[in-house]
Amino acid sequence: MNKKLIQKSSKIFLQYALVLLLCAAPIFYFVTKHLYLEDADEALILRKAEYFHYYNGKIHHDEIDNWNSLNRDNKILSWNGLKNDTLFDISYFDTLQNEIEPYRELNFPIIIDGEQYLYSSRLNLVESEDLLESTAWLFAIVVFFLLIGIYFISRRLSNTLWRPFYETLGQMEQFELDYTKAPDLSETDTEEFVRLNDSFLRLFQRTVDTYRIQKEFLENAAHELQTPLAVIQSKIDGMLQLDKLTKEQAIILESLNLSIAKLNRINKNLLLLSRIQENPIENYSPISLSNILNSNIDFFIEQASQRNITVSLRVKNDVIVNSTPHLVECLVNNLLMNAIKHNHDGGTVKVILINQALTVSNSSVDDALNGEKLYKRFSKQGNENSGTGLGLSIVKRITEVFGWSIKYDFSNGKHFFSVEF
């Protein structure tokens, strides 16, 4: 599933923020702990200096026990051979707190009455550890909420900054050649978006110009072809009336006659598409769909009977639309002709007018049609080769002009075209 650029950037931001938080919290903890230990070491070294300044040479053998009983964290112990100052971490059982607590301890040699002893000074780290943990948790919580705040602020800012991009993207998605009105792009002072808008407008103008040239050529060609096609049709009709035609010549002329008739249909459909695309069509009037269907259904029943195809009409309620009679008839005729052409001998065509929808269904030997090519000009699907490939394009264009919708479905071997008004 595709994701928006903002979602991707926000996700990446959260991932990096989480990694940053996970890395920063322990780093902060250990750095702070190291600083606490340095302070503890300085305090112990200061105690050593105080001992030598105030007590060195003033304490005797018989005063050691009294000293140890009065000083809980500073003890004079028997010498264990230590020659240099030693700082280390150690844990002792605290009888007052009834638990094991961490300490930082400094041991260094001293001389009392000419004999060597060991002076041990320790500093309780419980309060420092508790403060350190509380500080670390506070840091993590502050950073977490800070990152969440930055995330939402950046997301909001991103939405604002990227709004011109998404508006331009929306204009590009809605762009249709049939509507040549220039897109209304939002003004922006972001250089990249300005370049994007300028490029899009240039592309739009080139595409519209090319389309207009092709459209004018198609219209002119269709108009110019009308007279030659009429002349050829007239000549063929005249030749078919001759008595001296051989059977082979008659077959050839009949084939030419069918080809010219097909060319005439294509030409008329192209002219019709061109007129519809001129948009807007004025002089709308209320049109009764049931009247259109009832007045045209007999023609299609007769056409379908040549292949033993059954055509049925069911009108549950009338539907009134604002349109022109010619275009409504064109829509109905193309749907019904398509249903007959893309059918098999002995098949069925059902026309149903109910609520605000017209549904035309037909049996077929073909599978479901390709939805992407369904309404494209000159696109043919299935095994039918007699059509022009313009009928459904005309139907689609008529629905677009009047704001109607057309849907296609395939079920149980039948094609369904439904126009909702």
How far, in Å, CA of 145 to CA of 137, rounded?
Answer: 12
Give mean pLDDT, residues 328-357.
Answer: 91
pLDDT tens digits for 147-170? 788 778 777 777 777 777 778 777
Q: Percentage of the chain with pLDDT > 70?
A: 88
pLDDT at 122: 92
Instruction: Look at residue 167 and tell me if it is in a domain.
Output: no
Residue 171 belongs to some domain of the structure: no
pLDDT at 277 > cutoff 70:
no
Distance CA 389, CA 341 (A): 11
pLDDT band at 289 (very low <50, low <70, confident <90, very high): very high
How confident is the model over 389-414, as a mean pLDDT?
85
Higher pLDDT, 319 or 25: 319
328 & 270 share domain: no
Mean pLDDT along residues 310-320? 93
Element holding 203 (H helix, E strand): helix 191-240
Between the CA of residue 408 and those of 173, 373, 405, what are the distances in Å?
22, 12, 10
Whose tokens are 């071997």? That residue is 413
In a domain, 53, yes or no: yes
Together in a domain, 397 and 304: yes
**Residues 246-273, mean pLDDT to the nearest whole number:** 78
Q: What is the mean pLDDT of residues 183-187?
A: 76
Give dist(CA 270, CA 224) in Å, integer.
Answer: 12
Whether 196 and 134 share a structural domain: no
Q: Where residue 414 sits, what CATH number does that domain have?
A: 3.30.565.10
| Predicted local distance difference test score (pLDDT) of residue 213 | 77
**Inside any domain, residue 374:** yes
Residue 304 is predicted with a pLDDT of 92
How does residue 177 score in pLDDT terms, banded at 50, 70 and 90? Answer: low
| Residue with token string 């009709």 | 237
State whether 330 and 302 are in the same domain: yes
Q: Are residues 75 and 112 part of one domain?
A: yes
Percent of the chain topping pLDDT 90 = 24
Q: What is the reported pLDDT for 32? A: 79
Predicted confidence band of residue 181 (pLDDT cuts 50, 70, 90): low
Per residue in 359-393, pLDDT (tens digit) is 999 998 778 877 667 777 555 555 555 544 577 88
Query: Predicted confidence band at 1 (pLDDT cuts at 50, 70, 90)?
Result: low
pLDDT of residue 371: 66
Q: Which helix (H) or strand (E) holds 80?
A: none
What pLDDT band is residue 247 in, cutting at 50, 70 and 90? confident
Beta carbons of 396 and 338 less than 8 angstroms apart: no
Query: Residue 186 domain-assigned?
Result: no
In this prediction, residue 95 carries a pLDDT of 73
**pLDDT tens-digit profile of 141-151?**
887 787 788 77
pTM confidence score: 0.48
Quote the pLDDT of residue 191: 82
- 405 and 314 housed in the same domain: yes
Number of domains comprising the chain = 3
- Rounded to 5°, the CA angle 105-108-112 comes to 130
pLDDT of residue 194 exceeding 80:
yes
Residues 104 and 50 in one domain: yes
9 and 142 in a single domain? The answer is yes
Residue, of 302 and 140, whose pLDDT is higher:
302
In the predicted model, what is the mean pLDDT of residues 306-319? 93
Distance, C-alpha 8 to centroid of its chain: 11
CATH number assigned to the domain comprising residue 272? 1.10.287.130
Weakest-pLDDT range from 196-210, 256-270, 353-367: 256-270
Q: Are residues 137 and 245 in the same domain?
A: no
Determine the structural domain holding residue 271 and report its residue range: 191-277
Residues 273 and 250 placed together within one structural domain of the fold: yes
Q: What is the pLDDT of residue 2?
A: 60
Mean pLDDT value across the chain:
82
Amino acid at 13: F
Assess if residue 43 is contained within a domain.
yes
- What are the φ and ψ backbone dihedral angles of 111, each rounded to 5 degrees? -120, 125
In this structure, is residue 163 part of a structural domain?
no
Over residues 32-78, the pLDDT tens digits come to 788 888 888 999 999 999 999 899 888 898 899 999 998 888 999 99
Looking at residue 364, its pLDDT comes to 85
Beta-carbon-side half-sphere exposure of residue 11 (alpha carbons within 13 Å): 6
Same domain, 21 and 120: yes
Whether residue 128 has pLDDT greater than 60: yes
Residue 120: per-residue pLDDT: 94
pLDDT of residue 169: 78
The pLDDT of residue 281:
54
Asked, for residue 327, whether it belongs to a domain, the answer is: yes
Which of 146, 166, 181 is the C-terminal boundary of a domain? 146
Nearest by Cα to 395 from 336, 309, 343: 336
Tens-digit pLDDT profile for residues 328-337: 888 898 899 8
127 and 205 housed in the same domain:
no
Confidence of residue 241 (pLDDT cuts 50, 70, 90): confident
Per-residue pLDDT at 178: 60
Report whether 383 contacts 365 (CB < 8 A).
yes
Q: Which of 277, 298, 331 is the last residue of a domain?
A: 277
The residue from 255, 277, 299 where one domain ends is 277
Average pLDDT value for residue range 318-345: 88
| pLDDT digits 0-9 by tens, 91-115 | 888 777 788 888 899 999 999 988 9
**Residue-level pLDDT at 269:** 65
Strand order in the sheet with 348-354: 310-315, 348-354, 357-363, 414-420, 405-411
